[in-house]
Amino acid sequence: MDILVTYDVNTETSAGRRRLRKVATACKDYGQRVQLSVFECRLNEAQYEAFRAKLVSIIDTKLDSLRFYRLPSPREKHLECFGLDKYIDFDDPLIL
């Protein structure tokens, strides 16, 4: 399934800046950044549950915001992008 993850972490304190780095790092482990605080991820149900639990354990629910959106398939049919598009197709070959 394709998941869109968005977050807004309060960075007024050093603890908030640490949370922001941890959230961004966790998101990079599961997907790709398409905007500053927006990631697209392709996950199975078990990966999604682990990812969601990890992020929820990092944020401060009184100060931060975290959202998960399940994207309908195929995502390309439901997406319009204007301007810079940083998305790399998950199904394309990976060349290192």
- Largest Cα–Cα separation, the chain: 42
Under 8 Å between Cβ of 29 and 65: no
pTM of the model: 0.79
Specify the CATH number for 2-73; select among 3.10.20.340, 3.30.70.240, 3.20.20.100, 3.40.250.10: 3.30.70.240
- At 24-67, the pLDDT tens digits run 999 999 999 989 999 999 999 999 999 999 999 999 999 999 99
Distance separating alpha carbons of residues 85 and 6, to the nearest angstrom:
16
CA distance readout (Å), 79 to 42, 51, 76: 15, 23, 5
Residue ranges in the chain assigned as alpha helix (H):
14-30, 45-58
